[in-house]
Structure 1
Amino acid sequence: MSVSKSTESIDMEKKSSEASIISIILSAVKKASVVGIIYFAGYMQWSVAWFIGPIVLFVLRDQWKKSSDNRRTIAKVAALSSEKDVVLARLNDLPAWIIKQVWPNVNHYVREIVRDSIQPVLKESLEKYKLHGFKFERIILGTVPFRIGGVKVYDKNIDRNEIVMDLDIFYAGDCDISFYLSGMKGGIRDFQLHGMLRVVMKPLITSIPLVGGLQVFFLNNPDIDFDLVGIADVLDMPGLSDILRRIVIETVASMMVLPNKFPIKLSDEVEAVELKAPEPEGVLRVHVVEARHLMKKDISVLGKGKSDPYAVLTVGAQEFKTKVIDNTVDPKWDFWCEFQILESNGQQLYIHLWDKDDTGDDENLGSLAFYETRGWFWVTLEQAKHGMVHLRLTWLTLSKNYEDLETVLYETQMLRASNLNTALLTIFLDSAKNLPQARMSTKPDPYAVLKVGNKTQQTNVLMRTIHPVWEQGFTFLVTNPENDSLFLSIMDHKTSTEIGQLIYKIKNICNKTNLEVSKEPFSLLKAGPDSKITWSMHLRILKKIADEPMLGDAPRVLARTDSNISTPSTADSQVSSQTGKEKEQLPSGDAKQIDSEDVQEIIEDSSVSVVSSVPPSYTLEGLLHRTPSVTSSAGEAGLGRIQMTLRYSVQRQRLIVVVHKVIIPDPYVKLYLLPERAKDSKRKTQVIKDNCNPIFDESFEYVLNQIELGTKQLEVTVGTQKQLFYSSSNILGQVIIDLGKLNLTQPYNVWFDLQPEIDHD
């Protein structure tokens, strides 16, 4: 061995010596070549430019080539990048300096709007709470302009005669606003506003400024917050400060939150009705059927009581509230309401459940945001440990055919709900002429009040005129156009006396072309012979889509089948092998029936989708992806087993956990996300009493992005309310599921073996 090593070292020394000799020879040749070139150039008497010129050309060529390669690389990266990455990369290039440059002009414009439009509304609203004399003294927005966090311009599903963009607006400036209220001076500091502002430029015209007008509005209520100074010691108390904040939010909503739009006319070529009386896209009818397994918030003598739940539904500035159901966690409301939808692309249905408290401090029972417009759903509440809401949504289109009214009236009667509507009336109140004077010395301060059914709306007050021009649009939902009428009263603001009146029967529109009245003058009652009102009206019938299911048509499907027992290792293969097998219906006593929406929510890949009908040819295994609900195995640790379905929705960024079944007396299941095991990640099923073979089928959701999902574990604890004689604990077993090791883009349904409880102490 030593001999071979010495031989190798000798060979390496020879090779290194040979390499050094070759390098010396090459170096000598290079130096001789340089000397020879210089000698040859001198011998030929060449100028120095022969050397400098090529060097300059080579340098320029290299720089041009690098620049060209960079352009191609950037273009390739941009083409392969996602739209989101491109937008985020350009956010820093937004022209903030432009906003800062025009901010003083914006300040002046906003000051006029606040004094002319917002101040009267605030004053009237505060007077309802016996707070009189509200008046702004100083309105200065400060030097810090609002910031645009992002811009989205729509190029699909829009009219070619409009430009639509969304702006993520955030304002947290150094404003200085002072006011008087009940003889005391107060102020607002640190005013903050954040919301998605939509700007619609329409119609597009051929002359400068190329856009006829703007419609500016928030899709949903923006987040508003501020601090009070001056009379803060009086108003910044629980209750009174909330009143002022709520009034400010409602005032902003009444002006700039859908269905309210703030129109800006830019060209005289455009009729005001096009900007100020837009027709909705449709009407969303919502049926809040019931809720189940809500949290218990009330405290009773014996411990935790139940709740007094009610629901608040909002779309933009529109809000409805259900009645309060006392002392229950499974309320049945059977509540109907209807929302006008002006922008289906962006508006959301928000549902917030509250526990009514006699002290006025209602407690949160959970909430959800909904994008769908059709179908029946069981939806899991967010910001709550547990609870679900049963909804039915119906999308109503706007028909110009008056003959559709008969069918619509029949359908609403079948629903047996007294507050449903069959038509939508859009009114554009243009102007009035030759109004009488309510006072001898001065002209009136007229405003118009419109009423259809039990809903009333009014125009702005115009000062000192007998020829007011309002140019305002209104929409009313109509119960029955055959019987309902539109009542118009023109009032004098100073004296509160009526100076004109008109009653118009809505069924008169049925004889008009396309059910439209275009800028027709009508004579006023209780006014002079020359007093007239000019308005335009559109009537639309609320027509249901043809394939929308009728009440009672909601399909039911079996949620259990008999087959072989599955194990965790074979669950996925058994699910796939079940496809195509013939279904076996169980006797009615053994089968648990659920709505098709329950099934869909278990397996939905993106957002909760519509399942209005399920053809009978659908296999149950294909819908539910559910393994057998009967097991005779006690599990690896002899503590039993639990059946669950896990799924991750990429689009909704949610982990969906469905607890199906355990086999123990009076059981419940509790969930935590690890490693934090935070209280807000706790979820708990209801307790099913006096049943050793219960089926929960309860769904829970966690808001997680895909990166977080890979770092989390799900702790599943099974407990019982029955105290077992051989154990001091009600906990029967646990399962710790490593979510990062599972492919949850497809439903993962399996029986898990329960293990002994982990001591967290």
Structure 2
Amino acid sequence: MASDNKMVSASKPAIPLSSDDSVSVLSMIYRFFKKVSMVGAVYLVGYMQWSVAWLIGPVVLSVLRDQWRKDSEYRRNLAKTTAVSSEKDVILARIDDLPAWVFFPDVERAEWLNRILLQVWPNVNHYARNLLKDSIEPAVAESLANFKMNGFKFERMILGTIAPRVGGVKVYDKNLSRDEIIMDIDLFYAGDCDISFVLQGIRGGIKDLQIHGMVRVVMKPLITKIPLVGGLQVFFLNNPSIDFNLVGAADVLDMPGFSDILRRCIVEQIANMMVLPNKLPIKLSDEIPTVDLRMPEPEGVLRIHLVQAQNLMKKDISMLGKGKSDPYAIITVGAQKWKTKHIDSNVNPRWDFWCEAIISSRKSQVLQCEAWDWDPGMGIQNDDYLGRCSLDISQVVRSGRLDTWQTLQQAKHGKVELRLSWHRLSTDITELSRAINETQLIKTGELSSAVLAVYIDSCKKLPDARAASRPDPYLTVTVGKKTENTAVQMRTGDPVYEIGYSFLVQNPEINTLEIKVLDQKTGNALGQLTYAIALLLKQKDLSMLTQPIMLQKSGPESKVLLSLQLKILKEAIREEDVEEETLVRPSEPVAPAAPLAPAAPDSTPAPLPPSAGTVLSPEPATQDLVNLDNDGTDGASQKSIPIEQIIKEVDVPQESQVPSERASPKLVHRTSSLTTSAGEAGLGRILLSLRYSMPNQTLIVVVHKIMNIPLKDPTNVPDPYVKLYLLPGRSKDSKRKTPVVKDSCMPEFDEKFEWVIPHAELHSRQVEVTVATHKGFLGGSPVIGQVIVHLNQYDFLEAKTLWFDLLPESPRE
């Protein structure tokens, strides 16, 4: 019987391992080698008698990297969920990336357009593949080479099945010429793309690519034949936000620092293609000259003077603890960027930095200023972030000149001083002498008096670099210290470029335009041109239409076809016509402007629903009003204005504001800047201004002053300061803090703080305002009093400046 069993068992075929068993075996082998590696690393550290830092350092770095990746993955997954959800589901879920039409009444819903994009998206893959390969790849490779990373190229480019979403569309119908249509599109892409690349022999990939920005489409000129529009100009108004996930062998680079390099390179290349002043032109009709679409059309020049910063955060580590910072600033306007020098060991740096930005859309572009703490290393990714501020250029256009202190966002404290002036452009030659004199008075040596627009159509009959083959020509175009390079045209003696550039000109009477034609293969010069800009001063409208000009040091018939347009900077004055649109509430019709009668001395503000512990000032409103302007700047940065002269505009989106002279006069809530009361609890009172900026989704709180802090011991006068938290969810990111005022029971701060909050969440948030003193036992900070402001009790369409009673500190949840 036993022999039979042996025979049966021998006759049975061997049972193969299931896939689950094989996976289990591989997992066990992986865990075994992982444990061996960990134990071996610890043993090696002990055997070699290395410092424990060699072991702890990689572990800490790994933990931080995992946490950073979890946060990034959460944001990407949230964005992808938004992209594939219906518009209704997105709004009900109160996701942060709500469509633009939710916030802006002049933005139309575009769900029909999203359905069209979903249909045509498979056909877009082919065009995008060519765009990435021909334009993005060489530009990114050149940019990465600056960081000693060579050999970049794309291998596979699949955009996936998730199409971009349009959050809203706005079509402009006022203040436009008759031959153009302007449309703004809130574009959001969070797709399931699969892009693989090679970098220094390492294969990697990009997944979960996300791009979000406002795209402007200009349709011009309008014609009488199909397709009725001669061409399109497509561009981002400001730099879009970009995020992605690195996979494959390049996954080791997916951590703060290394991924920032790749992200910055991609943003730079997109900016060079289609972020103002750069535009992506698309010609639709052969009847329209290409110069009409590609010739630069600047609206003006923004002159920027970054004066100084105050109370920046301390990021350096010293022997005695926290040292200071070595701050520098980066100013960005669209694709234009400037960087100041860094100042060692100073949290109150004075840069006195001047720069000028060419503005192509004064109503929509934004100036951004970032402060960084310089640390030696590869670049900005090693430096510590000190905060940023943003300013709408339309504010400067309305004022002509603007001197403002801007509080840094995403920072505990700190602010910067900016002096800005707006200069329109003119073809009146009589303005030139005044513009030159103005630049000479400032004495920086680098400011401009005019703008030169250059359009290069093509070159004709270039000489061959070598007898055996045709050249690969490209051009370098230089005015002053700025040089632009065109794309390379392969194997041709008659290259067509059709590209335009804008240059700032210090003095048109002496500056020149230099064009060099170079062969990429050999590096040899094929010709050059030196054109005196002063020649344009004798032309009608200071312009030269497309004309062939002979090249120097070239072939006998070599020439370049170009167009030139010179415009002179005009003096900075207030522009009344920058905004013509207005948002009118049904109960507040617009009436013709009329002189504002002085306010009655016994007039009092309308009552508002008080929050816990708040009491409106009972005193007559005969003092100055301290409030927030429409642009978000606080009254502390301006001189005191009598209450009888204050006119507050209706708070509307940036594209829909009207100068106060054009709107109906309206007196805002007025509050006395003084109080004689010590409050309900006898702890003093604090004066705050609050406002919510709908366009920027930003809550703005200004801490003005504290009055009547009780003095219990005349020998121990408090050193008060104010700290603020955004509730619920008290965190370091939401903490804000004023400077300390020494020995005062009536301190004045005039500090502005900002938090970015989606409008849908505003009603569920509170601001905790705590007044403390630094004179505590062993350096502690005893609390003097506290106020919790419930945001759901206020209508923030206008600034509210209120007195709040300080109450005893409430226990934390």
TM-score category of the 2 structures, normalised to the smaller one: 0.7 to 0.9
Give the Cα separation in 2 of the matches to 1:241 and 1:749. 44
Tell me which of 750, 762, 772 is aligned to 1:697.
750
Counterparts of 1:211-360 in structure 2, within 5 Å, are: 211-232=229-250, 235-236=253-254, 239-358=257-376
Quote the offset at 1:635 in angstroms: 4.8
Counterparts of 1:532-571 in structure 2, within 5 Å, are: 532-546=559-573
1:444 alignment partner, SS class: coil
Give the Cα separation in 2 of the matches to 1:241 and 1:750. 46
Give the Cα separation in 2 of the matches to 1:392 and 1:122. 35
Aligned to 1:498: 525
1:297 alignment partner, SS class: coil
Aligned to 1:645: 688
1:243 alignment partner, SS class: helix
Aligned to 2:542: 515
1:576 to 2:595 alignment:
no
User: Residue by residue, what CA displacement relative to the aligned partner does 1:655-712 show, whole Å, maximum 9, x if unpaired?
Assistant: 4232313555322112223444343332211012355553222222344567755544
1:684 to 2:729 alignment:
no
2:621 alignment partner, SS class: helix
Give the Cα separation in 2 of the matches to 1:449 and 1:646. 53
Q: Which residue type is aligned with residue 260 of structure 2?
A: D
Whether contact under 8 Å (2:771, 2:785) holds in the other structure is yes
Give the Cα separation in 1 of the matches to 2:293 and 2:139. 23
Counterparts of 1:2-401 in structure 2, within 5 Å, are: 90-94=109-113, 96=115, 98-232=116-250, 235-236=253-254, 239-358=257-376, 361-371=382-392, 372-373=395-396, 374=400, 375-401=402-428
Query: CA 1:218–1:403 in 2, change beyond 3 Å: closer, same or farther?
Result: same
Aligned to 2:768: 715
1:190 alignment partner, SS class: strand
TM-align CA RMSD: 3.6
Deviates more, 1:364-373 or 1:303-312: 303-312
Query: CA 1:183–1:156 in 2, change beyond 3 Å: closer, same or farther?
Result: same
Listed as ranges, the gaps of 5+ residues in structure 1 are 1-81, 549-562, 581-592, 615-621
Tell me which of 726, 729, 733 is aligned to 2:785.
733
Aligned to 1:528: 555
State the TM-score, normalized to the length of structure 1. Answer: 0.76
Aligned to 2:808: 756
Give the Cα separation in 2 of the matches to 1:739 and 1:184. 52
Answer with 1 or 2: which has the greater Rg.
Answer: 1
Whether contact under 8 Å (1:660, 1:698) holds in the other structure is no
Quote the offset at 1:625 in angstroms: 5.1
Aligned to 1:67: none
Give the Cα separation in 2 of the matches to 1:335 and 1:599. 30
Quote the offset at 1:285 in angstroms: 1.2
Whether contact under 8 Å (1:288, 1:336) holds in the other structure is yes
User: Residue by residue, what CA displacement relative to the aligned partner does 1:721-757 show, whole Å, maximum 9, x if unpaired?
Assistant: 22369x9862223234445455666665555443333
Give the Cα separation in 2 of the matches to 1:253 and 1:594. 36
User: Residue by residue, what CA displacement relative to the aligned partner does 1:388-419 show, whole Å, maximum 9, x if unpaired?
Assistant: 22212211111101221110111122223222
1:418 to 2:434 alignment:
no
Quote the offset at 1:497 in angstroms: 0.9
Give the Cα separation in 2 of the matches to 1:449 and 1:227. 36
Listed as ranges, the gaps of 5+ residues in structure 2 are 1-100, 576-601, 606-612, 626-634, 655-659, 661-666, 710-716
1:671 to 2:724 alignment:
yes
1:279 alignment partner, SS class: coil
Query: CA 1:91–1:686 in 2, change beyond 3 Å: closer, same or farther?
Result: same
Query: CA 1:603–1:658 in 2, change beyond 3 Å: closer, same or farther?
Result: farther
1:123 alignment partner, SS class: helix
1:596 to 2:648 alignment:
no
Q: Which residue type is aligned with residue 596 of structure 1?
A: Q
| Count of matched residue pairs | 639
Whether contact under 8 Å (1:571, 1:627) holds in the other structure is no
Tell me which of 490, 493, 496 is aligned to 1:463.
490
Query: CA 1:134–1:368 in 2, change beyond 3 Å: closer, same or farther?
Result: same
Q: Which residue type is aligned with residue 689 of structure 2?
A: L
Quote the offset at 1:456 in angstroms: 0.5
Quote the offset at 1:345 in angstroms: 2.8
2:526 alignment partner, SS class: strand
Give the Cα separation in 2 of the matches to 1:498 and 1:228. 41
Give the Cα separation in 2 of the matches to 1:690 and 1:350. 37
User: Residue by residue, what CA displacement relative to the aligned partner does 1:351-402 show, whole Å, maximum 9, x if unpaired?
Assistant: 2222223355322222222112241212222222222222122111111012
Give the Cα separation in 1 of the matches to 2:678 and 2:617. 21
Q: Which residue type is aligned with residue 806 of structure 2?
A: L
Q: Percent identity?
A: 51
Give the Cα separation in 1 of the matches to 2:315 and 2:521. 50
Give the Cα separation in 2 of the matches to 1:595 and 1:160. 41
